[in-house]
Amino acid sequence: MKTTRVLLYLVLLFFVIFYLLPVYVLLVTSLKSFQEVSLKTMWNLPTRPSFESFVRAWKGDKAKGLRGLSQNFMNSVYLTIPATLISTLLGAMNGYVLTKWRFRYSNLIFAILLYGMFIPYQSVLIPLVRVMQKIKLYGTLPGLIMTHCVFGIPITTLIFRNYYSTIPTELIEAAKIDGADFLKIFTRIVLPVSPPAFAVAAIWQFTSIWNDFLFGLVVTPNPAVQPITVALNNLAGSYFVEWNIQMAGALLTALPTLLVYIFLGRFFIRGLIAGSLSGT
Partner 1 sequence: MKRDKLVAFLFILPSIVLVGIFVYGFIGWTGVVSFVNWRDVFPDYTFVGFRNYIRLFGNYRFLISMKNTAIFTFLFLVSSVSIGLLLAILLDRKVRFEGFFRTIYLFPMAISFVVTGVVWRWLLNPGTGGESIGINLLFEKIGLSFLKSGWYTDPNIGIKAVVIPAVWQMSGYVMALYLAGMRSIPTELYEAAQLDGASVYQVYRYIVLPLLRPITLGAVIILGHISLKIFDLVFSMTGSGIGFSCDVPALFMYDTTFRGNYFSQGAAVSIVLLLLVSALIVPYMVYTIRSEVRR
Partner 2 sequence: MLKKLLTVLLVLSLTFAFASKLEIFSWWTAGGEAEGLQELIKIYNKLYPNVEVINATVAGGAGAQAKAVLKTRMLGGDPPDTFQVHAGHELIDTWVKTGFMEPITFLYKEEGWERVMPKGILEIVSYNGEYWSVPVNIHRANVLWYNKKIFNQFGLKPPKTFDEFFQVAEALKAKGVIPFALGTKDGWEAAHIFETVLIGKLGAEGYKGLWTGKTKWSDPRVTDALETFAKMLKYVNSDHPARTWDEACALIVEGKAAMTIMGDWAVGYFYAKNFKDFGWVLAPNNEGIFDALSDSFGLPKGVKNRENVVAFLRILGSKEAQEAFNLKKGSIPARIDVNKDLFPEYQRSAMEDWQKHVIVPSVMHGAAAPESWVTEFKDVISLFVARPDVKVTQNALVNIAKAHVGQ
For partner 1, the binding residues in 145-164 under the rule CB under 8 A are: 147, 149-151, 153-154, 157
Q: Single out the residue of 51, 112, 136, 221 in contact with partner 1 (rule: CB under 8 A).
A: 112
Q: Identify the DSSP state of 111.
A: H
- Contact present, 198 and 156 (Cβ < 8 Å): no
**Total residues in contact with partner 2, by rule CB under 8 A:** 36
Q: Would you count residue 126 as binding partner 2 (CB under 8 A)?
A: yes
CB of 51 to partner 1, least distance (A): 19
- Contact present, 200 and 272 (Cβ < 8 Å): yes
Site for partner 2 in 157-196 (CB under 8 A): none
The pairing of beta strand 60-61 with beta strand 66-67: antiparallel
Residue type for 18, please?
A: F
CA distance 84 to 82: 5
- Contact present, 252 and 57 (Cβ < 8 Å): yes
Q: Would you count residue 110 as binding partner 2 (CB under 8 A)?
A: no
CA distance 93 to 141: 24
Residues comprising the chain, all counted? 280
Convert residues 56-85 into a mask of x (bound to partner 1 by CB under 8 A) and - (unbound): ------------------------------
Convert residues 54-93 into a mask of x (bound to partner 2 by CB under 8 A) and - (unbound): ---------xxxxx--------------------------
CB of 114 to partner 1, least distance (A): 7
Q: Single out the residue of 69, 128, 199, 252 in contact with partner 1 (rule: CB under 8 A).
A: 128
CA distance 141 to 201: 22
- Contact present, 196 and 163 (Cβ < 8 Å): yes
CB of 131 to partner 2, least distance (A): 9
10 binds, among partner 2, partner 1, none (CB under 5 to 8 A by kind): none
CA distance 124 to 101: 32
CA distance 137 to 109: 27
* Whole-Å CA distances, 242 to 29, 95, 249, 251: 10, 46, 11, 15
CB of 249 to partner 1, least distance (A): 9
* Shorter beta-carbon distance to partner 2: residue 190 or 245: 245
Write the burial class of residue 12 (CB in 10 Å: 0-12 exposed, 13-18 middle, 19+ buried).
exposed
Q: Single out the residue of 17, 239, 263, 279 in contact with partner 2 (rule: CB under 8 A).
A: 239
CB of 49 to partner 1, least distance (A): 19
* Shorter beta-carbon distance to partner 1: residue 70 or 257: 257
Q: Single out the residue of 33, 71, 140, 257 in contact with partner 1 (rule: CB under 8 A).
A: 257
CB of 143 to partner 2, least distance (A): 12
